[in-house]
Amino acid sequence: MNIDRQEVLRYLGYRNAEPSPEVLHHIADCTEELLQACTPHHIFHREPLRLVSPNIVSFAGITVHSRSLFQHLTGCTEVILFAATLGSPVDLRLERCSKLSMSRAVIMQACAASLIESFCDECQEPIAVEAAAKGLYLRPRYSPGYGDFDIAHQRDFLTVLDCPKRIGLTMTDSFMLAPSKSVTAVIGLTAEPQSCHIAKCMTCQAKNCPFRKG
Amino acid sequence: MEIFDQLGKRMLFFDGAMGTILQENGLGAGELPELWNLQKPELIQQIHHSYLKAGADIIKTNTFGANAVKLRGCGHSVQEIIGSAVCAAKKAVQANGGTGLIALDIGPTGKLLRPLGDLPFEDAYAAFREAAVCGEHAGADLILIETMSDTYEAKAALLAAKENTSLPVFVTLIFDEQGKLLTGGNIAAATATLEGLGADAIGFNCGLGPEQIKELLPQLKSCCSIPMIVNPNAGLPRCVDGKTVFDVSPKAFATSMAELASMGAWMVGGCCGTTPAHIAATVRACKEIPPTPLESHALTVVSSYSQAVPFGARPILIGERINPTGKSRFKQALRENDMDYILREGIAQQQSGAHILDVNVGLPEINETEMMCRAVTELQSIIDLPLQIDTASAETMEQAMRIYNGKPLINSVNGKQESMHAIFPLVKKYGGVVIALTLDEDGIPETAEGRLAVAQKIVDTAASYGIKKKDIIVDVLAMTISAGQGAAAVTLDSLRLVREQLGLYTSLGVSNISFGLPQRENINAAFFTMALQNGLSAAIINPNSQAMRKSYDAYCALSGCDTQCMDYIARYSQQTAETAPVAAAQMSVSQAIISGLKESAYSAAQELLRTKEPLLIISEELIPALDQVGKDFEKGILFLPQLLMSAEAAKAAFEVIRAQMDASGSESQVKKDKIVLATVKGDIHDIGKNIVKVLLENYSYDIIDLGKDVPPEKVVDAVKEHHVKLVGLSALMTTTVVSMEETIRMLRQETPFCKVMVGGAVLTQEYADMIHADRYVKDAMDSVRYAHELFGE
């Protein structure tokens, strides 16, 4: 698990600009604090996938009406339902930091965002190895709320994976994950090897997102 | 059979998993198992029966998720489901010849409590109360609160069960292999909290297999004085072919369970993956093992949600700064509802090494109970130190103890009948360690023997309420030596007497000793050392005071409680290098602000105040610098962290200037127009709003920050109360923009004079227009610009 400095700077809006030494110092410091505070957990299930029609996919008893998810999963035979969290102690640190210094708080926030992504990537490695043994490849993670994949499906992920009990991951009435630095996602399994090079951002429909890569 | 007739006389057995067997019978992932009580009661009864046949003494009803939060929208009431579940269990017991106890199973709501999530403590309590009452009514013999990974939620459930039923209540928690709850708490902290609240037994369930719990049980045993339960999974979950399985065999499970029984568990059973075969094997392996006698630990310990702080090892520092007495700035914060100020006092003390924070928010003109509950809630959401609830009002004390997530220190009780009568029932009910002041109806005894006698009286009276000595700390009272020089000696003698004769731990508000004298720190620090030497266990001090800190660190090194002086060395070895402070680079106020250097801005402003009018510094240095930074941000040559660093630097400069103006009696800079900021209902992410706040404050707007997850009515009320002309609303997600729209609608109706600006990750100009906002602000600077436009900057 690590925090990617370039990624953090991108979240903070630095494109190619050089950050000040203070900012770099804060990034290093927040990285250390978060790595020490976080209590990462994850869980996943592998489930068969049915591509019902160009805007309906179904897995684990969940039927999703979404054109973008259909596109994303086209060519897949199975999916991994995945959930991960950095744990509530990270939220406590973020909250505490925002009382002391907002400049540091935005940096810590960006560091935590990078950390959860890196944690998810790390969790995915053994999954990828296992899939590879069967000649399958992983598509990038796709989460409720991306494209036209209704965020209300957050509930299905938490229920099917039994997230509150297994990894302490819950959601609010408005489908926000709590602890906040958490991810739920579906990962397609496909026999097409080229799907691996698709950068996550390129498949996302939020085209004016400031954090979009590429 | 009554549980207490059997408990401790022989090993008692819980049943195993219910969910696992329901899944084998076709329960789909995501389907509510509790509905099967209504749909397939015979199957439920049959499962219970198979466990009773396997030798279980206690069967858990199929009600893990039977609470209003989880069942919402399922079409059946909690009463209906719990009624049918208990009924199925009863039938199974009848079929077993009437042998078997029914535990009403209460699992977590599946939501995180505020402020980590959006479920209010009171709502969790209400949901658990409903379940507990239904369970007792339906005929359950006891209540098992299980699989709790948050002590706060466990507290809500335990309180609800205790206050609304007369059943025994057991609590089991889900720990990871490191002995941590998912919310970060450890075994000692959870035990202190739950034992304090009067749980009848506590223990482990789920999460781990018996082998892993073997590593953790000794930890629980070392701090737990009540019966222990172990209901593990059939091993650690393993992922086989994409699915989670638990696959420790009945034989292996039973072998480990026998070890756990020998180690001190009085009740054993199973959780996920265990079957009647596991329980049958466990019963065979354990039934002849005699229960280990309970150990009564005389541990004096307070806890936060995450850590326990024991008394006795090293003297405890209780930070005294959260207290308005003699602090005008603090009083102002209380009057203005400035919670951030209070929180910063807390954080600073934690950083200075305080072990516990005293919380006193009593001020005649404010609602103390409300403020105390808010302060406790907010402090415990950002600081993991135990709190000392400090109030003269029993009502405030009770409400604060209710919502406190841990076992608090209670300040205070004294030898007056009235005080003991008010406080002891609260200590008994909610748990806590109480500070006992050695004074009574006759005042403060002048001799050490007199104070000892009052302490003895308090201890005796406490015992009659069922409160043990270990939960009392005696404050023998430090009186100022300026009123009588013998005062110090009496206090020191009293400390020794209480330690030696009563064996109790002691505390003191140390700085009282110097009241009325100049340079009080000199006296305080020396007296602190003397008191420690005479047996002081906990000192209520200002941990930010260097002098007190040095006394403490030196004492710990000298007395040997700082092993090999490790802490002393760690703290002071680097400081020698810092003795020659680097001369602050000569920087102008505006340069310092543009560079985002807080300390430099502070000292440059201080310097400049010698030669320049405060108001001129603001208009000629601060504001132009801020404008410059704002422009650079908008041009994309300076980024958010620097913008905020500059804002913080400007704030530091403002503070010096403001202090100077206050001191000179000149009209302090008048705050500008008021702006209400809120993150809308349903939204628990407020970083964007906080950024906006920092910048608007920089331009001297008076911000009324309503926080996050704010209901529309609250926004309207604030706008009405302060007659505010501008509201800023933030929302992060499409799902919460709905609340934003609703808030705007209500504002339009009730306060048409007020403009609304909106911002947040998902918002766009189109969205803002659609919900009828007056202005979409794309970033924090944009909100400043709009405020300027509106208020005619």
B382-426 confidence digits (pLDDT tens): 999 999 999 999 999 999 999 999 999 999 999 999 999 999 999
Place of tokens 């000199």: B522
Residues B682 and B631 in one domain: no
Mapping DSSP to helix (H, G, I), strand (E, B) and coil, where does residue A63 land?
Answer: strand
Tell me, what's the pLDDT at B659?
Answer: 85
Distance from the Cα of A210 to chain B's closest Cα (Å) equals 10
Domain boundaries, position B762: 674-791
Percent of chain B with pLDDT over 70: 97
Tell me, what's the pLDDT at B326?
Answer: 87
Q: Kindly state whether residue A213 falls inside one of the protein's structural domains.
A: no
Residues B203 and B340 in one domain: no
Tell me, what's the pLDDT at B662?
Answer: 78
Question: Distance between CA B776 and CA B761 in Å, rounded?
Answer: 12
Paired strand residues for A186: A81, A142
Across B666-674, average pLDDT: 69
- pLDDT greater than 50 at residue A198: no
Across B539-556, average pLDDT: 96
Percent of chain B with pLDDT over 90: 85
pLDDT tens, B333-371? 999 888 989 999 999 999 999 999 999 999 999 999 999
Q: Kindly state whether residue A159 falls inside one of the protein's structural domains.
A: yes
User: Predicted confidence band at B579 (pLDDT cuts at 50, 70, 90)?
Assistant: very low
**Angle B276-286/B250-263 helices, nearest 10 degrees?**
40
Residues B439 and B508 in one domain: yes
When comparing pLDDT for A196 and A102, which is higher? A102
- pLDDT greater than 90 at residue B40: yes
Query: Alpha-carbon dihedral of residues B475, B476, B482, B485, nearest 10 degrees?
Result: -150
Contact flag B644-A103 (C-beta cutoff 8 Å): yes
Of A182, A175, A164, A157, nearest to A62 by C-alpha is A157
Interface test with B, best of A92, A155, A212 (most B CBs within 10 A): A92
Q: Kindly state whether residue A171 falls inside one of the protein's structural domains.
A: yes
Burial B237-255 (b: 16+ CB within 10 A, else e): beeeebebebebebebbbb
Q: Which residues of B touch A128 (CB under 8 A)?
A: none
Residues B426 and B339 in one domain: yes
Tell me, what's the pLDDT at A205?
Answer: 54
Across B47-58, average pLDDT: 98
Phi, psi of B177 (to 5 degrees): -65, -20
Tell me, what's the pLDDT at B578?
Answer: 44
pLDDT tens, A161-195? 999 999 999 999 999 999 999 999 999 999 988 65
Phi, psi of B324 (to 5 degrees): -75, -15
Of B175, B183, B309, nearest to B231 by C-alpha is B175
How is residue B74 annotated by DSSP? S
CATH number at residue A86: 3.40.109.40
pLDDT tens, B110-150? 999 988 899 999 999 999 999 999 999 999 999 999 999 99
Sign of CA dihedral B379, B381, B382, B388: positive
Of B570, B780, B575, nearest to B693 by C-alpha is B780
Segment (H or E) for A81: strand A76-85
Contact flag B118-A173 (C-beta cutoff 8 Å): yes
User: Predicted confidence band at B585 (pLDDT cuts at 50, 70, 90)?
Assistant: low
| Alpha helical stretches, state H, B404-447 | 417-430
Tell me, what's the pLDDT at B583?
Answer: 45
User: Predicted confidence band at A42 (pLDDT cuts at 50, 70, 90)?
Assistant: very high
Contact flag B639-A109 (C-beta cutoff 8 Å): no
Say how many domains are in chain A. Answer: 1
Q: Which two tokens stand for residue B306?
A: 């995450």
Q: Kindly state whether residue A137 falls inside one of the protein's structural domains.
A: yes
Contact flag B347-A151 (C-beta cutoff 8 Å): no
User: Which of B545, B575, B608 is a domain's end point?
Assistant: B545
Q: Which residues of B touch A91 (CB under 8 A)?
A: 116
Tell me, what's the pLDDT at A85?
Answer: 97
Tell me, what's the pLDDT at A213?
Answer: 59
Across B283-291, average pLDDT: 97
Question: Distance between CA B445 and CA B612 in Å, rounded?
Answer: 57
User: Predicted confidence band at B684 (pLDDT cuts at 50, 70, 90)?
Assistant: confident
Percent of chain A with pLDDT over 70: 90
Contact flag A101-B112 (C-beta cutoff 8 Å): no
Contact flag A179-B382 (C-beta cutoff 8 Å): no
Residues B652 and B678 in one domain: no
Distance from the Cα of A26 to chain B's closest Cα (Å) equals 10
User: Which of B519, B545, B571 is a domain's end point?
Assistant: B545
Q: Kindly state whether residue A113 falls inside one of the protein's structural domains.
A: yes
pLDDT tens, B307-324? 999 999 899 999 999 999
User: Predicted confidence band at B1 (pLDDT cuts at 50, 70, 90)?
Assistant: low
Question: Distance between CA B434 and CA B437 in Å, rounded?
Answer: 10
Tell me, what's the pLDDT at B736?
Answer: 87
Domain boundaries, position A38: 5-203
Indicate the residue of B115, B242, B383 with minimum beta-carbon distance to A45. B242
Q: Kindly state whether residue B238 falls inside one of the protein's structural domains.
A: no
Contact flag A175-B733 (C-beta cutoff 8 Å): yes
Cβ neighbours for B326, distance < 8 A, ≥ 6 positions apart: none
What average pLDDT does the structure give for chain A?
A: 89
Question: Distance between CA B69 and CA B84 in Å, rounded?
Answer: 19
Q: In this structure, are strands A41-53 and A56-59 parallel, antiparallel, or unpaired? A: antiparallel
Per 3-state DSSP, chain A is made up of helix, strand and coil in percentages (nearest 5) of: 45, 20, 30
Of A147, A141, A140, A151, nearest to A205 by C-alpha is A147
User: Predicted confidence band at A126 (pLDDT cuts at 50, 70, 90)?
Assistant: very high
CATH number at residue B627: 1.10.1240.10
User: Which of B188, B211, B227 is a domain's end point?
Assistant: B227
CATH number at residue B760: 3.40.50.280
When comparing pLDDT for B577 and B697, which is higher? B697
Contact flag B382-A46 (C-beta cutoff 8 Å): no
pLDDT tens, B591-618? 999 999 999 999 999 999 999 998 899 9
ipTM score for this prediction:
0.89
Residues B209 and B331 in one domain: no
**Could you give the C-alpha distances from B47 to B85, B172, B244, B276, in angstroms and in order?**
12, 22, 22, 9
Q: Kindly state whether residue B294 falls inside one of the protein's structural domains.
A: no
Across B86-109, average pLDDT: 97
Across B88-101, average pLDDT: 97
Tell me, what's the pLDDT at B489?
Answer: 96
Q: Kindly state whether residue A64 falls inside one of the protein's structural domains.
A: yes
Question: Distance between CA A52 and CA A72 in Å, rounded?
Answer: 14
When comparing pLDDT for B232 and B792, which is higher? B232
Q: Which residues of B touch A178 (CB under 8 A)?
A: 111-112, 116-118, 684
Which pTM was predicted?
A: 0.92
CATH number at residue B46: 3.20.20.330
Tell me, what's the pLDDT at A206?
Answer: 52
Say how many domains are in chain B. Answer: 4
- pLDDT greater than 70 at residue A209: no
Q: Kindly state whether residue A48 falls inside one of the protein's structural domains.
A: yes
What average pLDDT does the structure give for chain B?
A: 94
Render A31-59 in DSSP notation, one character per residue: HHHHHHH---EEEEEEEEEEEEETTEEEE
Residues B324 and B191 in one domain: no
By the 8 A CB rule, do B33 and B65 touch? yes
Q: Kindly state whether residue B117 falls inside one of the protein's structural domains.
A: yes
Distance from the Cα of B288 to chain A's closest Cα (Å) equals 34
Q: Kindly state whether residue B438 falls inside one of the protein's structural domains.
A: yes
Q: Kindly state whether residue A35 falls inside one of the protein's structural domains.
A: yes
Q: Which residues of A touch B243 (CB under 8 A)?
A: 45-46
Place of tokens 């923009």: B737
Q: Kindly state whether residue B321 falls inside one of the protein's structural domains.
A: yes
Across A85-108, average pLDDT: 94
Contact flag B642-A167 (C-beta cutoff 8 Å): no
CATH number at residue B483: 3.20.20.20
User: Predicted confidence band at A15 (pLDDT cuts at 50, 70, 90)?
Assistant: confident
Residues B619 and B746 in one domain: no
- pLDDT greater than 60 at residue B224: yes
By the 8 A CB rule, do B8 and B50 touch? no
